[in-house]
């Protein structure tokens, strides 16, 4: 009942805004109800994105009642990966042959959702290993939430020292988190990119790796996460952080997370390391471990 009141109040406020501003034309992407387009695109793909928007926006009006299945369909995915392409990149998908892996991610989704309760939330994922390699797990964790037709997911790559994301995303990417935080003239829509996975959007780390610590500490970083959470009431945001034991950035990003999950690479991490990391975290946000092969 309370949810219905909230949605009705939201719709009412939008109707009042449209009456007050009748001639503004098409609203900006940040203001559209349940919309997150246009994405940032390259010139090479602009025609493809334009055609996609024309096709999906024809007769498109905000729903009169909140319907997540209809509203989440507005998230564009102009270059969806095929099952073969997903398998090559080790990205999970419904009906994949390795049912045990799929079930493991589903169980993670259930446990994290139960811990979070209703509404959207943020999860920080960070590896306890000695090097890169955690991004795929973070990507698949976000993909697991996106598999739920009633939920959208956003992967925010906060590891400026890794370039793995480009190999997992079907569209070219440019500016990212550090660029946005360092330039107040940038709009959020300029750093959002379709992933190739339905209902999953990504934001890359950006190009300013040398000043990432200062940028992640900035007020604008908090404003970014707050705005991203406000856009979709049922969204899961996964923050991919650098390895926890080796980088200061992970300790900074922790403040933006509601829950924290550590990755444990096989053969690299002892029980003592895990205990020390949890103690160093010093937070009740710790939700569990993902053991990585």
Side-chain half-sphere of 131: how many Cα atoms within 13 Å?
3
Q: Is 44 exposed, middle or buried (0-12, 13-18, 19+ CB in 10 A)?
A: exposed
Give dist(CA 37, CA 34) in Å, integer: 10
CB proximity list for 234: less than 8 A, separation 6 or greater: 68, 119, 120, 150, 151, 152
Give the pTM.
Answer: 0.76
Bridge partners of 153, per DSSP, are: 200, 236
**What is the CATH class of 41-292?**
alpha beta
Give dist(CA 194, CA 203) in Å, integer: 9
CB 29, CB 189: distance < 8 Å: yes
pLDDT (tens place) for every residue of the chain, 293 residues total: 444 444 454 445 445 444 444 443 333 333 333 344 445 644 444 433 333 333 333 333 444 444 444 456 556 788 999 999 999 999 999 999 999 999 999 999 999 999 998 888 999 999 998 776 689 999 999 999 999 888 889 999 999 988 899 999 999 999 999 999 999 999 999 999 999 999 999 999 998 888 889 999 999 999 999 999 988 788 899 999 999 988 888 999 999 999 999 999 988 889 999 999 999 888 789 999 999 87
Strands (E), the chain: 121-127, 152-157, 193-194, 200-203, 235-240, 259-265, 286-292
């Amino acid at each position: 009942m309370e949810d219905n009141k909230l949605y009705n109040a939201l719709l009412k406020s939008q109707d009042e805004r449209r009456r007050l501003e009748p001639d503004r034309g098409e609203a900006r992407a940040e203001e559209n109800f349940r919309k997150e387009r246009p994405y940032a695109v390259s010139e090479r793909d602009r025609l493809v994105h334009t055609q996609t928007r024309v096709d999906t926006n024809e007769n498109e009006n905000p729903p009169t009642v909140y319907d997540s299945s209809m509203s989440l369909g507005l998230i564009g995915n102009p270059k969806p990966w095929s099952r073969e392409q997903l398998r090559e990149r080790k990205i999970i998908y419904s009906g994949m042959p390795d049912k045990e892996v799929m079930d493991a991610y589903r169980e993670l989704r259930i446990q994290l959702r139960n811990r979070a309760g209703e509404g959207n939330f943020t999860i920080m994922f960070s590896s306890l290993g000695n090097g890169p390699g955690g991004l795929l797990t973070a990507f698949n964790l976000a993909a697991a939430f996106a598999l739920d037709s009633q939920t959208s997911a956003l992967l925010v790559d906060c590891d400026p020292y890794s370039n793995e994301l480009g190999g997992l995303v079907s569209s070219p990417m440019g500016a990212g988190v550090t660029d946005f935080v360092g330039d107040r003239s940038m709009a959020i829509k300029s750093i959002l990119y379709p992933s190739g996975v339905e209902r999953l959007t990504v934001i890359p780390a950006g190009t300013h790796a040398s000043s990432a610590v200062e940028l992640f500490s900035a007020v604008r970083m908090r404003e970014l996460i707050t705005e991203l959470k406000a856009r979709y009431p049922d969204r899961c945001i996964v923050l991919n952080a650098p390895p926890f034991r080796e980088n200061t950035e992970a300790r900074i990003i922790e403040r933006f997370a509601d829950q924290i999950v550590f990755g444990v690479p096989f053969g690299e991490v002892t029980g003592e390391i895990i205990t020390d990391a949890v103690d160093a975290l010093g937070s009740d946000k710790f939700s569990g471990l993902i053991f990585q092969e």
